[in-house]
């Protein structure tokens, strides 16, 4: 149980917003302290069932000498506390301006009278001076010159009521659930585990290779998972793979007021339906390859004749294997027949025939929080194996450098992407992957995903040195504009070790030895393995990823692993 004290002298609207935000948490106990026996905040406390104390200045000093709280929250408390009192606990305060501007009383009025076009709020640690403690968080507000003072105040208070409880939640320590069982989820869980903001990490559907990082949650269906998350006071759910998103997991989590990184089922169609994504791109004049939708085997020859270099893509999800490329038109026809007859079930009953584009492929990951779009350094994913077969990904590099002209074109694309997200009024926070190709004339979109990629995540999350839980959480509360990315000094490479035969049928249950003796220059993330009798056994096509800023160290590690079915991609040096 966390014991939290809120201090307020007058109206107490922030007090009420905080208490109501945490009303369903069973691990927080609020108390109120006021120095004004006539303060309206007392009525709010009585209505909300919060115990309160009304004390004068001398009594307050003695009170804190005798009582210890996990956090003391100043919310409209107008007396300055002395250094001895402040040092008894951790105190935070909220101020209605962008400090250091307009310290002290009447900050909103000062900004209004001075016709400021930008104002905001500041949450900071409190000390014995007026509004001078270390800043925790700031949020800007663009001011409409036509606002009267009432409207000006109202908009500032709306920011306070939204952000203060959420920043408090972050400071108290976050309970986080990571859903999924691949190497992508392994690296996410590992980075979350390293965060100073973490209280407890929970895992659902994890593989044995990283199950020790957190507490496992077993569940029967998505609603049951949401109920268990609520019971455990989980602050944030990070959804790893597309099946959960297309299946509506985030929709159910949102019904229980559980924050999640991932789109709802409707927006997940950007990935789960290539036809939906194509239509969305056309609406916002985002360049993509010409295509035709096909559902009938009788139209195969007719539709293929429209394309010089056709490729085929299953409309729905196919675990990264729903794209077929070949220079042989007869192979294309044969595979298209398989697709339309249900090679990938319902996902390929509708298929897109598309003109193949030639150029340099890039992976752009962008975090969207409902208001702000944060772009990460470009990555590259290597999907094709030596047989020219499409896979879920065999290697990745981050970052990828591009020339000045390409960067200008990329900026134009980013602006169009922002317009799409904004105009479509997409409010759910999620990660958007843009699979891009740079042709001779422009940048085109090959596909969208609505989550981090695998194996790009393994490279990206090791290249960006920020606290990743901070990034994920600020994404969940419309706070990405506060994030400044910190990059590694050297590029990061990921090489995936696969089982022989991938992406087709592979052997399972083959022991993988010598992993524990790998050098400390590499990180390892597990994809498809099980642990039985202390033995690590393969359990699918992509087995594990090895990551480092020293590519030669990766290959030394791969060579050292004893696995009879071992295969991996060799990148050019």
pLDDT in tens, 174-203: 999 999 999 999 999 999 999 999 999 999
User: Where in the sequence is the domain holding 189, given as residue range(s)?
Assistant: 174-261
Instruction: Using a pLDDT cut of 90, give the percent of the chain over it.
Output: 93
| Cα(379)–Cα(452) distance, integer angstroms | 12
Is residue 535 reached through a cis peptide bond, with omega within 30 degrees of 0 on the bond before it? no
| 241 shares a domain with 96 | no
User: Do the domain assignments include residue 573?
Assistant: no
Longest dimension (CA), the chain: 89
Pair 58, 109 in one domain: yes
What span, in angstroms and rounded, lies between the C-alpha atoms of 136 and 166? 12
Contact 345, 378 (CB under 8 A): no
How far apart (Å, rounded) are the C-alpha atoms in residues 4 and 540? 48
pLDDT for 321 equals 81
Query: Would you say residue 282 lies in a domain?
Result: yes
CB 563 within 8 A of CB 512: yes
Q: Is residue 572 part of a domain?
A: no
Residue 513 has pLDDT above 90, yes or no: yes
DSSP 551: H
Same domain, 451 and 541: no
Looking at the structure, do residues 185 and 131 belong to the same domain, yes or no?
no
Give the domain CATH number at 145: 3.40.50.170
Q: pLDDT tens, 112-140?
A: 999 999 999 999 999 999 999 999 999 99
Residue 57: is its pLDDT beyond 90? no
Does residue 33 form part of some domain? yes
Q: 487 lies in a domain? A: no
Q: Are residues 328 and 217 in the same domain?
A: no
Q: Is the pLDDT of residue 519 over 80?
A: no
pLDDT recorded at residue 79? 87
Domain boundary among 449, 482, 515: 482
Whole-number Cα distances in Å, 233 to 112, 228, 273, 562: 40, 9, 34, 42
Question: What sign has the CA pseudo-torsion 91, 97, 102, 106?
Answer: negative
Q: Which pLDDT band holds residue 540 (cuts at 50, 70, 90)?
A: very high
Stated pTM of the model: 0.95
Whether residue 100 is found in the same domain as residue 18? yes
Average confidence (pLDDT) over 204-221: 97
CATH of the domain at 542: 3.90.600.10
Tokens in use for 48?
């909300």
> Do 313 and 345 belong to one domain?
yes
- Are the C-beta atoms of 131 and 171 separated by less than 8 Å? no
| Long-range contacts of the stretch 129-136 (C-beta < 8 A, 24+) | 129/80, 130/80, 130/103, 130/104, 131/93, 131/95, 131/99, 131/100, 131/103, 131/104, 132/100, 132/103, 133/91, 133/93, 135/99, 136/92, 136/167, 136/171
| Mean pLDDT value of segment 439-444 | 93
pLDDT above 70 for 373: yes
Token code pair at residue 77: 């408390």
Query: Quick one: what percent of the chain has pLDDT higher than 70?
Result: 100
Same domain, 167 and 180: no
In a domain? residue 394: yes
Q: Are the C-beta atoms of residues 193 and 213 closer than 8 Å to each other?
A: yes
How many Å apart are CA 438 and CA 422, to the nearest integer?
A: 25
Question: What are the contacts of 277-280 at 24+ separation with CB within 8 A?
Answer: 277/447, 277/448, 278/352, 280/420, 280/424
pLDDT in tens, 239-280: 999 999 999 999 999 999 999 999 999 999 999 999 999 999
Q: Which of 138, 172, 206 is the last residue of a domain?
A: 172
Domain identity same for 156 and 192 = no
Shared-domain flag, residues 83 and 129: yes
Residue 167 pLDDT class (50, 70, 90 cuts): very high
What is the pLDDT averaged over residues 5-12?
Answer: 96
Cα–Cα distance, 138 to 246 (Å, whole number): 35
Are 279 and 344 part of one and the same domain? yes
CATH number, position 245: 3.40.50.20
Strand partners, 526: 544
Mean pLDDT over the full length of the chain:
95
Reported confidence tier of residue 516, pLDDT bands at 50, 70, 90: confident
Q: Can you point out the beta strands (E) in 290-379?
A: 291-294, 310-314, 323-324, 351-355, 360-368, 373-375
Residues 305 and 329 in one domain: yes
| Number of domains the chain contains | 4
Mean pLDDT of 134-147: 96
Give the DSSP letter string of 181-219: -SHHHHHHHHHHHT-TTEEEEEEES--TTTGGGSEE---
Question: pLDDT value at position 311?
Answer: 94
Tell me the C-alpha to C-alpha distance, in Å, between residue 165 and each of 18, 43, 169.
5, 20, 6
Question: Which residues pair with residue 390 across a beta bridge?
Answer: 384
Last residue of some domain: 172, 187, 209? 172
CATH of residue 411's domain is 3.30.470.20
Indicate whether 501 pLDDT > 70: yes
Report if residue 379 sits inside a domain: yes
Q: How confident is the model at residue 573, as a pLDDT? A: 63
**d(Cα 411, Cα 409) in Å, to the nearest integer?**
5
**397 domain residue, yes or no:** yes
């Amino acid at each position: 149980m966390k014991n939290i004290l809120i201090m307020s002298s007058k109206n107490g609207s922030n007090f009420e917003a905080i208490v109501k935000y945490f009303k369903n948490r069973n691990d927080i106990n609020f108390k109120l302290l006021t120095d004004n026996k006539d303060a309206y905040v007392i009525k709010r406390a009585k209505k909300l069932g919060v115990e309160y104390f009304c004390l004068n200045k001398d009594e307050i000093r003695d009170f804190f000498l005798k009582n210890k709280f996990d956090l003391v929250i100043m919310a409209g408390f107008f007396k300055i506390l002395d250094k001895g009192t402040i040092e008894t606990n951790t105190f935070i305060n909220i101020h209605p301006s962008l400090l250091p501007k307009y310290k002290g009383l009447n900050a909103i009025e000062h900004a209004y009278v001075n016709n400021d076009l930008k104002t905001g709020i500041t949450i900071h640690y409190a000390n014995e001076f007026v509004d001078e403690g270390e800043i925790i968080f700031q949020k800007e507000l663009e001011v409409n010159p036509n606002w009267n003072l009432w409207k000006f105040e109202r908009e500032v208070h709306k920011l306070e009521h939204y952000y203060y409880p959420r920043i408090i939640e972050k400071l108290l320590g976050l309970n986080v659930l990571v859903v999924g069982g691949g190497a992508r989820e392994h690296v996410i869980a590992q980075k979350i585990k390293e965060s100073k903001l973490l209280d407890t990490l929970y895992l659902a559907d994890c593989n044995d290779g990283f199950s020790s990082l957190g507490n496992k949650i077993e569940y029967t269906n998505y609603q049951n998972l949401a109920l268990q998350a609520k019971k455990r006071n989980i602050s944030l759910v990070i959804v790893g793979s597309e099946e959960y998103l297309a299946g509506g997991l985030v929709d159910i989590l949102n019904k229980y007021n559980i924050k999640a990184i991932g789109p709802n089922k409707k927006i997940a169609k950007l990935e789960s339906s290539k036809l939906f994504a194509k239509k969305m791109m056309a609406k916002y004049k985002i360049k993509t390859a010409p295509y035709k939708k096909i559902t009938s085997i009788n139209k195969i020859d007719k539709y293929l004749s429209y394309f010089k270099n056709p490729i085929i893509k299953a409309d729905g999800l196919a675990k990264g294997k729903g794209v077929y490329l070949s220079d042989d038109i007869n192979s294309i026809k044969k595979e298209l027949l398989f697709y339309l007859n249900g090679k990938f079930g319902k996902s390929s009953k509708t298929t897109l025939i598309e003109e193949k584009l030639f150029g340099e492929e890039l992976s752009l990951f962008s975090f969207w929080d409902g208001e702000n779009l944060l772009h990460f350094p470009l990555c590259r994913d290597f999907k094709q194996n030596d047989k020219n077969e499409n896979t879920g990904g065999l290697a990745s590099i981050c970052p990828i450098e591009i020339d000045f002209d390409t960067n200008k074109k990329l900026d134009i694309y980013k602006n169009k992407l922002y317009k799409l997200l904004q105009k479509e009024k997409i409010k759910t926070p999620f990660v958007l992957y843009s699979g891009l190709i740079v042709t001779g004339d422009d940048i085109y979109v090959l596909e969208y995903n609505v989550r981090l990629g695998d194996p790009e995540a393994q490279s990206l999350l090791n290249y960006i040195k920020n606290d990743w839980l901070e990034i994920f959480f600020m994404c969940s509360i419309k706070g990405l504009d506060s994030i400044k990315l910190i990059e590694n000094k050297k590029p990061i490479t990921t090489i995936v070790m696969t089982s022989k035969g991938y992406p087709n049928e592979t052997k399972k249950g083959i022991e993988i030895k010598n992993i524990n003796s790998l050098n400390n220059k590499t990180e390892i993330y597990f994809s498809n393995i099980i642990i039985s009798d202390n033995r690590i056994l393969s359990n699918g096509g992509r087995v594990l990823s090895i990551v480092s800023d020293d590519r030669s160290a990766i290959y030394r590690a791969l060579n050292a692993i004893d696995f009879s079915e071992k295969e991996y991609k060799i990148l050019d040096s």
